[in-house]
Amino acid sequence: MTDGPAIHQRLGRTLWAVAALTLALAAAFPVAAYFGWRRHGDAGLAAAVLAMSVCWLGGTLALAAPWAAGRRNPVVGILLGSLFRMLVPLAGAITATIFWPPFRRVDGFGIIVAYFLWMLVWETLLSLWLVKQPSQATRVQ
């Protein structure tokens, strides 16, 4: 079976994509944290931390889904990725809005939506990089 090295190669690419997503979200965090804290104090800063956390979790699960689905089910992996990409930040935003009143006052839902859009750009680019077909030269051995 020659699928073993391919699994490790896909895992390595997935880990690189997760690291790149982490860097992209971390790069946007100081801006979100500054504006959240400047406008709403500690509650705004906490909302920025929550936004980054739920978007990172959703994006990471979305990047890992195609790897977990394997080569035999790439469409299932992409669909699962879409589900994780949208469901985790949305569930986090709705849950925090219901159970954390300061989150409502600082417009935390809007902060998560803004962070989600930033994450969506990067996660989409990284997903396309992950599912890119290898060139003909690497297929022939």
Neighbours of 140 (CB within 10 A): 6
State the Cα–Cα distance between residues 85 and 70, nearest whole angstrom: 18
pLDDT band at 86 (very low <50, low <70, confident <90, very high): very high
Radius of gyration for the chain, computed over Cα atoms and rounded to the nearest angstrom: 18
How far is C-alpha 139 from the geometric centre of its chain's CA atoms?
30
Q: Each residue of 94-120: pLDDT tens digit?
A: 999 999 998 888 888 988 999 999 999
Q: How far is CA 40 from CA 4, 24, 29, 34, 47, in A?
A: 51, 24, 16, 10, 10
State the Cα–Cα distance between residues 124 and 26, nearest whole angstrom: 17
Domain boundaries, the chain: 3-139
pLDDT for residue 5: 61
pLDDT for residue 36: 86
- CA-based torsion, 19, 24, 30, 33: positive or negative: negative
